[in-house]
Amino acid sequence: MDDFICAFDDLVLFRLLVKAMKAAGWEMKELGVPVQFLSLDMQLTLDSDGRCVQINLSQHTYFVDLVEQFDLTLAAKPRTTTPMAKCTAMDDPGQPLASNRQYISLVGALLYLATCTRPDIAFAVGDLSRFSAVPTVPLWMAAKRVLLYLRTHSHLGLTYTHSPEYYFLFSVIPPMLRMLLTGNLRLGLQFWLLDLL
C-alpha cells in the first residue's frame, strides 16, 4: 500500500489524473481534505472558493506519542527556550549508557522531527547523532532536553502560504508519467517554485 497526496489548483487536471490512474489499474480512494498524513498533522485554510491559501504542518501527535514511548515525565521540569544548553560539551566523557538502543531510537525519532517539521532542532539533533555508538549519560540528558524544548514549543511547525508572487509548478515528464501509470516507476514527480517577478 502506498500513501500519497495530490494537490492541484485545477480540479479538471486532478480528475484527469484520477481517471488515468484508475485506467492503469490503480486502486485508490479519495479521502477529501487531509487532516493527518503519515505522522504529519495538517491544518488547511481555504478561501471562499474552496482553494487552499495556507497549510500548517506540525507533528504534535507524533511528539506526544514519542514522550509516551520513552516514558519521559517532563511536567515537573522547567521550561526551556533552546534545544541545546549553552556550551554543551558533547564530547564530555561521562558515564556510558548501559545500552545505546534507547538513545539511538530517541535520536532517530528526533531526526525525523527535524527533517519533517522542526528545523529548529536540527543542529542539536545532528550533534547528538554523532555519538550514537557510545552515548553517555550527559548525552542522554541532552536528548531529553530536546524533548523538553519540543514540549515547551509544541505549537511550532511549518506554514506554507499562497502568495501571488510565487506559484508551484507541478511537472511530470511525459515518459515518466507513462511509467508511473503503468507501475514501472514509483516516483517521477518534480516540483519547482517559480518567481513571477
Q: What is the 3-state secondary structure (H, E, C) of the chain?
A: CCCCCCCCCCHHHHHHHHHHHHHCCCCCCCCCCCCEECCEEEEEEECCCCCEEEEEEECHHHHHHHHHHCCCCCCCCCCCCCCCCCCCCCCCCCCECCCCHHHHHHHHHHHHHHHHCCHHHHHHHHHHHCCCCCCEHHHHHHHHHHHHHHHHCCCCCEEEECECCEEEEEEECHHHHHHHHHCCCCCCEEEEEEECC
Same domain (yes/no): 85, 145: yes
Same domain (yes/no): 52, 118: no
Report the DSSP pairing between strands 36-37 and 189-195.
Answer: unpaired
In a domain, 44, yes or no: yes
Q: How many C-beta atoms lie closer than 10 Å to residue 45's C-beta?
A: 13
Q: What angle do CA 15, 18, 23 make, to 5 degrees?
A: 125
Q: Is 57 exposed, middle or buried, given 0-12, 13-18 or 19+ CB atoms closer than 10 A?
A: middle
Same domain (yes/no): 86, 144: yes
In a domain, 68, yes or no: no
In a domain, 28, yes or no: yes
| pLDDT attached to residue 186 | 43
Q: Which percentage of the chain shows pLDDT scores above 70?
A: 70
CA distance 185 to 173: 12
Same domain (yes/no): 46, 92: no
Same domain (yes/no): 173, 126: no
In a domain, 187, yes or no: yes
CA 54 to chain centre: 17
- Rounded mean pLDDT, 168-177: 46
| pLDDT attached to residue 121 | 92
In a domain, 6, yes or no: no
| pLDDT attached to residue 114 | 93
| pLDDT attached to residue 87 | 59
CA distance 42 to 64: 16
Same domain (yes/no): 107, 148: yes
Q: Which range of residues forms the domain containing residue 33? A: 11-58+160-195
What band does 21 get if pLDDT is binned at 50, 70 and 90?
A: confident
Q: Which percentage of the chain shows pLDDT scores above 90?
A: 14
Cβ proximity of 134 and 100 under 8 Å: yes
- Rounded mean pLDDT, 105-123: 92
In a domain, 66, yes or no: no
Same domain (yes/no): 124, 97: yes
- Rounded mean pLDDT, 59-86: 74
In a domain, 113, yes or no: yes
Q: What is the pLDDT of residues 115-160, one digit of tens each?
A: 989 999 999 999 999 988 889 988 998 898 888 888 888 888 888 8
| pLDDT attached to residue 77 | 62
Same domain (yes/no): 93, 39: no
Same domain (yes/no): 139, 173: no
In a domain, 178, yes or no: yes
Same domain (yes/no): 135, 191: no
Q: How many domains does the chain have?
A: 2
* Mean pLDDT computed over every residue of the chain: 76
Give backbone dihedrals phi and psi of 118, rounded to 5 degrees, phi first: -130, 70
Same domain (yes/no): 165, 131: no
Give backbone dihedrals phi and psi of 66, rounded to 5 degrees, phi first: -65, -45
Same domain (yes/no): 94, 141: yes
